[in-house]
Amino acid sequence: MVPNRTERPVGSRRDWHNLQSMLPFLWEYRGRALFALVCLILSKVANVGVPVILKDIVDALQGKPEQVLVLPVILLLGYGALRLASALFNELRDTVFARVRYHAMRKLSVRVLEHLHNLSLRFHLERKTGAISRDLERGTSSVSTLMNFMVFSIIPIAVEFTLVAVIMLKNYAPVFALVTFATVAVYVFFTVKITEWRMDHRHEMNRLDSQSSNQAIDSLINYETVKYFNNEKLELGRYDSTLGQWEESAVKSQTSMSLLNFGQSSIIGIGVTIIMFFAANGVATGSMSIGDLVMVNAFMLQLFLPLGALGIVYRQVKYTLADMDMVFRLLETPQEVQDRPGVGELQVTQGEIRFEDVNFAYQPERPILQGVSFSVPAGAKLAVVGHSGAGKSTLSRLLYRFYDVTGGRILIDGQDIAGVSQASLRKAIGIVPQDTVLFNDSIRYNLQYGNPQATQAELEKAADMAHIRRFIDSLPDGWDTMVGERGLKLSGGEKQRVAIARAILKKPPILIFDEATSSLDSATEQAIQQTLHEVAGRYTTLMIAHRLSTIVDADRILVMDGGKVVEQGTHAELLALRGQYQRMWELQLRDDTR
């Protein structure tokens, strides 16, 4: 199930958990990360050394005349060297760490996509593609952003603050360190409290942003439906309404941020003023030199300027953790259908299929299949017919193990499919679905999807068998013709013929045809029927059909109603029963003669 987006209280965020979850993505380049950290520390040591050298320069200029010509030159060279070292280690840190954070982004992106592919069909039927796409985009970017802040902002400030604190405690009265610590403590406390309060607005912005993105993508995917019903204004109104709510949350977020910024500036201003008052008083009383005043002032500027940015960094880190939370929640979505530990590969020697007292329900209160039992001998063709909602297509979904049965079992060559790996099971089955969806790529790519290693000759043979070769050759770009998103540039019949060729190219021992000719004209249907007859003769075949004329030559026909098998036999045997199949046959004959 998709995580609930509306119930996102502050207390539910698992920041530490998400930070720990991020560590495995950094582990591969831990050496680089450690070296970058060393460069960071060296950079800050050089940076903190600059005010110390500056103090010595000022004091030297006030010293004895004979020293003025020698010491400042050495100190100035040292000053320049420290500046250069600080810049060098900073850039070296950036260069070394770039590989770490971008590799982590790549690994997380691949891991999330892998997990989405491993989730059950139920999840994908319930998902909101636009919202998940937005969450994935923000979440993977958040890993890079968080590491960027940690290495370039938070850790450097902590290192610099520690070094400054040590120098001030060692060389000056405790009051300087006390005021500095107190200012930082008040600043951090104020920033944390106000930012936590503001996070509700950010979470609401994220929720509405994902919702608006989903609405926009959904309306574009269903472009033709929107046009059919002339509902452009309805879609725009729905989209604008969600963005209006997002705008209100964004304004509240920005207004509260102004309050936060003013409070932070006030705290820093008061702290610096107090410290400079004590420093100036020390110079006036002779307990501190002008150089000490300059150094203290430089330290305060060096410390509080980045501390001012720390407020922004903290807010961004909290926002980033909120974005990251969505991705890690997605990664924690359990797989409904999982391989058992230590499962083996499916070994198909003949291709016999057997359903034994199979029960299934998408929801417990709504049973779909009830005690279904049948077998398909190796190389035989079994057809399944029935009215809509009888449970016909559910058979193929269970055979593919998109869902696990709630009762009974399904066997291939005597092996329970729940006890073999899903990958080996699906490798043994080819399908031509009723609703063929193609990738937004070339005809070649979509056809070759059945066997990525297929040669051009094999592609052409499969296209000939599916009666689509002539159509492909007639196109200006031929095999490289782009089919559009979901294959919308092709007709329904053309898409189904691509699907048939793709299934043929896979060469599986078991074939499923789920209303495989429903979008074809009569002439093409007859040609495809001949192809299916030829193909089915080589494989164990399960045909799910609505048009009974397409399955009259099946070795056995099952009639389903209400999730049960109510009749079975050959075409002639079922007509002789004068039951439900015979009524369906007569109704179809009557429709065909009109």
**The one-letter amino acid at 474:** S
Report the alpha-carbon distance of residue 241 to residue 249 in Å, rounded: 13
- With contact defined as beta carbons under 8 Å apart, do 319 and 202 qualify? yes
With b for 16 or more beta-carbon neighbours within 10 A and e for fewer, the 393-425 pattern comes to bbbbbbbbbbbebeebebbbbebebbebbbebb
Q: Is 237 helix (H, G, I), strand (E, B) or coil?
A: helix
* Angle between helices 155-171 and 174-221 in degrees, nearest 10: 170
Count CB atoms within 10 A of the CB of residue 276. Answer: 14
- With contact defined as beta carbons under 8 Å apart, do 565 and 559 qualify? yes
Residue from 324, 330, 320 nearest 128 by CA: 330
Going along the chain from its start, the domains and CATH numbers come out as: 15-331 (1.20.1560.10), 343-428+510-594 (3.40.50.300), 434-507 (3.40.50.300)
The whole-number pLDDT of residue 94 equals 77
The whole-number pLDDT of residue 9 equals 38
Q: What is the dihedral of CA 313, 315, 316, 320, to 10 degrees?
A: 130
Report the alpha-carbon distance of residue 541 to residue 378 in Å, rounded: 9
The whole-number pLDDT of residue 65 equals 53
The whole-number pLDDT of residue 6 equals 38
- With contact defined as beta carbons under 8 Å apart, do 119 and 333 qualify? yes
The whole-number pLDDT of residue 8 equals 42
**The one-letter amino acid at 257:** M
Residue from 367, 368, 417 nearest 394 by CA: 368
* Angle between helices 290-331 and 174-221 in degrees, nearest 10: 30
Count CB atoms within 10 A of the CB of residue 440. Answer: 14
**Please, how many CA atoms are within 13 Å of residue 357, restricted to the half-sphere of its CB?**
2
- With contact defined as beta carbons under 8 Å apart, do 413 and 579 qualify? no
Q: Which helix (H) or strand (E) holds 514?
A: strand 510-514
The whole-number pLDDT of residue 343 equals 86
- With contact defined as beta carbons under 8 Å apart, do 260 and 125 qualify? no
Tokens of 445: 């790519």
* Bridge pairing between strands 556-561 and 540-544: unpaired
Report the alpha-carbon distance of residue 406 to residue 122 in Å, rounded: 15
Q: Please, what is the end-to-end C-alpha distance for the chain in angstroms?
A: 47
With b for 16 or more beta-carbon neighbours within 10 A and e for fewer, the 321-358 pattern comes to bbbbbbbbbbeebeeebebeeeeeebebeebbbbbbeb
pLDDT (tens place) for every residue of the chain, 594 residues total: 334 443 443 434 567 777 777 777 777 777 887 887 788 778 877 777 777 777 777 766 665 555 444 556 676 677 777 778 878 877 887 788 778 878 888 888 888 888 888 887 777 766 666 667 767 777 777 777 777 777 767 777 777 778 877 877 788 788 888 888 888 888 888 887 877 777 777 778 878 888 888 888 888 878 877 877 778 888 899 899 999 998 888 888 788 777 887 888 888 888 888 888 888 888 888 787 777 777 777 777 777 766 666 666 776 777 777 777 778 888 888 888 888 888 889 998 888 999 999 999 888 888 889 999 999 998 889 999 988 778 888 898 899 898 899 999 999 999 999 999 988 998 899 888 877 778 888 989 988 888 888 889 999 988 888 888 888 989 888 898 888 776 678 877 788 888 888 888 888 899 888 876 665 666 666 766 776 676 666 788 898 887 787 888 889 999 999 889 999 999 999 999 988 999 988 888 876 665
The whole-number pLDDT of residue 438 equals 84
Place of tokens 């985009």: 137
Report the alpha-carbon distance of residue 75 to residue 60 in Å, rounded: 9
DSSP state of 6: S
SS (H, E, C) 131-176: HHHHHHHHHHHHHHHHHHHHHHHHHHHHHHHHHHHHHHHHHCCHHH
Count CB atoms within 10 A of the CB of residue 583. Answer: 10
Cα–Cα distance list, 50 to 165, 198, 269, 296, 371 (Å) = 15, 38, 23, 12, 82
Report the alpha-carbon distance of residue 52 to residue 57 in Å, rounded: 9
The whole-number pLDDT of residue 62 equals 67
Q: What is the dihedral of CA 157, 162, 163, 167, to 10 degrees?
A: 130
The whole-number pLDDT of residue 57 equals 72
The whole-number pLDDT of residue 310 equals 66
Report the alpha-carbon distance of residue 21 to residue 34 in Å, rounded: 19
- With contact defined as beta carbons under 8 Å apart, do 2 and 128 qualify? yes
- With contact defined as beta carbons under 8 Å apart, do 368 and 361 qualify? yes
The whole-number pLDDT of residue 189 equals 85
List helix spans (H) across 449-489.
456-465, 469-474
Count CB atoms within 10 A of the CB of residue 573. Answer: 13
Q: How many residues does the chain have?
A: 594
